[in-house]
Structure formats: structure tokens, C-alpha cells
Amino acid sequence: MSETGPEDPPEPRGTLHPTSARALTACVVVGLLGGWAIHPVMSRVAGRPPLVSWTQALSLVLVAVIMGFLAWHTWQTVHVRGERFEPHQAMNRLVLARACALGGALVTAGYVGYAVSWLGDGSQLADRWILRSVVAALGGLGVMLASLALERACRADGGRPQP
């Protein structure tokens, strides 16, 4: 840079805020309405409601365990051992955490809504779909909570507010 040339503008500095309760609430509302509506809509359109398999439910539990491990590992790396990730690695984990937190909220509420749609149904399948939907909802809740923990673990300041 020459003395007579214009100075380079300072590098922009942004701030990232934790996933908002408003965004999570919006996902929950959309998920509840969608999960509740899919049963009667698919019954009319396709002649039968969508199936909920154990594979779906247990896959969500597995994702929750993986996200929980990643949150624990990130916390240990950043906050216990005081190490730093490369910026792109930290950003990748943060994006994964936010996406999974919002997706987990949506999926949790969707399965809860689907389970609620079966309440009072005299079908012999109702108990099966309610149980599987509840297990899937618990898995989705685990994904959301573990993802929020990962998001917190990504904060280099330990989650303390800045002055």
C-alpha cells in the first residue's frame, strides 16, 4: 500500500446471535400443523395415512446421539483444552448446529402433530403409529437439544455476553 493511496476499508465484523426462540417457535407451529394435517389429507388423497416405521424413529435417535457427541467433543476442544478450530471448521459446525436445531424442532412437532391426529381413532393401527411417532418426536427433540448445545459449544467466548 502506498502512502498516497486510499486506505483499505476495514474488514467487516459481524456478530452471530444464537438461534432465536422465535425461529424455533415458528418451526414448532409449522410442524404441529403439518403433522396434524398429513393424516387426514393423505388418507383422502392416497387412501391411507403415511406409515411411521421404527427406522424413521430410531434414525432420529441416532442423529441425536451423533449431535450430542459432536457437541461434547466441540466443548472439550474449545472450552476445556482451549484449542481453536480453523474458521471454516467452526463455521461448518455452527451451520450444522443451526440447521439441525431448526430441523429438529420442525420434525419433533411434526411427529407430535401426527400422533395427536391419531388420538380417538378406532383403527387398530392407531396405537402403533402413536407409539412410533412419540419415539420419533423424542429423537427429534434430542436432535434439537444436542444441536443447541453444539451451537453453544461453538462460541469461543464460552457463551458469556460481550460488554
pLDDT of residue 163: 44
The three-class DSSP label of residue 145 is: helix
Report how far residue 60's alpha carbon sits from residue 44's, in angstroms, rounded to the nearest whole number.
28
pLDDT digits (tens, 9 = 90+) for 77-131: 999 998 888 888 989 999 999 999 999 999 999 999 999 999 988 788 888 999 9
The three-class DSSP label of residue 133 is: helix
pLDDT digits (tens, 9 = 90+) for 43-88: 899 988 898 999 999 999 999 999 999 999 999 999 999 888 888 8
- Residue keyed to cell 484449542: 83
In the chain, what's the furthest Cα-to-Cα distance? 83
Closest Cα to residue 32, out of 113, 101, 129, 111? 113
The domain segmentation of the chain, as residue ranges, is 22-153
Containing 20, the helix (H) or strand (E) segment is: none
The pTM of the full predicted model, rounded to 2 decimals, is 0.83
